[in-house]
Chain A
Amino acid sequence: MWTWFHRLASPPSFYTFAERLAPWLLAFALIATGYGLIAGLWFAPRDYQQGDAFRIIYVHVPAAALSLSLYTGMAIAAVIALVWRIKLAEVAITALAPVGASFTALALVTGMLWGKPMWGAYWVWDARLTSELVLLFLYLGVIGLDAAFADRRAAARACALLAIVGAVNVPIVKYSVEWWNSLHQTSTILKFGKPTITTDMALPLYGALLGAYALAGVSALRRMQNVLLLRERRATWVRELLAERAA
């Protein structure tokens, strides 16, 4: 088990592993997202109070869930990069930040589009919305910091520190609606107790959630592959790989 992990952490074996896994994950992502969005946007019943406007949940909730999950993943990679100095973990920080930033931006935009017709305002400065915006700035900070260094090792260390410091924001985003009064409602699915959504509305949402996780996985794998190729461009395995492709 451990030897398998150690072997996987070496750049060439990770590259081949990702190359093999990515197409399957992408196929799964397309099927699950396709089911979730089609069933959610067309076939799920209207909500008793929000009518058709509630359907934006099928994009908003997966995007918001990924914005937090990807940051958690990035922070874990940061701890591994700082303590064990594993190159693949450093690559993961660089690769996950733009994916997470995209999902965070999507969550913010879909949330605004949902807020206007239902609440009556695109934006309010309540705890949930503000902390999610801070999350976007943290992602952008990691991306910017990463680009500011010429030395990849130094960049990874700086980014790892920022990612760990920013991780305190993750539980704040998640529990802001429980700890404080907010305009945003509390969790429907990811909470203790039964989800407060009927099954015919929930199933497409689970599909969309699974699809979004798979899609984020594919994006992360592909980005990590690219970052690895760039970082290791002088290594023998990359040269061999390129020669193989050219042939």
Chain B
Amino acid sequence: MTRRQTRMIAVGGLILGLGLAAWLGFTAFSKNLMYFYTPSDVIDGRAPAHARMRLGGLVEKGSVARGDGLLVNFTLADCAKKVSVRYEGILPDLFREGQGIVATGHVDDGTFVAEEVLAKHDENYMPPELADSLKTDTGHSCMPFKPVAEPAKTAAAAS
């Protein structure tokens, strides 16, 4: 074997090993890399019960109810479940019904009490005239809001 072939194998092995290590590492820590929990996670008990966390989902159509001052109540939904949210503060410009948002706060008595609300816009761009003429709802897809993990089947079976 020439020295060049030896080096080729060494570099190839390095790339393969690093790729494998990265894949194993990121698969193991996948849960920790999620930026937010979804309503499904909260309902199914996969989100921390009282700790501060982020919750992401779509603002449900017709659910926004404004109260005194800056108080606002709305429902946040992913593809499967929904959670009601209470927030007192200034909303981002993009906040509206059907919009994806990420809220920071904690769950209190089944309601998510938010301290901060950020807008999560989607990857679709079009002029306003086209958005109007499409007539279908320009509300966003629930697909970007993935539950943190599949429901723990073993735990469910045990109980």
**B-binding residues in A (CB < 8 A):** 45-50, 54, 57, 79, 82-84, 117-121, 124-127, 164-165, 167-168, 172, 176, 179-183, 185-188, 196-198, 200-201
Contacts and interface: CB of A to CB of B under 8 A. Distances in A.
14 contacts: A45-B127, A54-B125, A57-B125, A118-B119, A118-B121, A126-B35, A180-B146, A181-B34, A181-B56, A183-B36, A185-B121, A185-B144, A197-B124, A201-B127
B36 A201 contact: no
B93 A47 contact: no
Interface of B: 4, 7-8, 11, 14-15, 18-19, 22, 26, 30, 33-36, 38, 56, 92-94, 99, 102, 116-132, 138, 144-146, 148
B18 A181 contact: no
Contacts of B94: 49-50, 118
The A interface is mostly helix, strand or loop, or mixed, namely loop
B11 to A, nearest CB: 5
Contacts of B30: 179-180
Given A48-B128, A117-B93, A124-B118, A181 B35 contact: yes
Nearest to B7: A83
Given A48-B138, A84-B4, A181-B144, A164 B126 contact: no
A119 B107 CA distance: 22
Contacts of B18: 164-165, 167-168
A181 B36 contact: yes
A185 B122 contact: yes
A127 B33 CA distance: 6
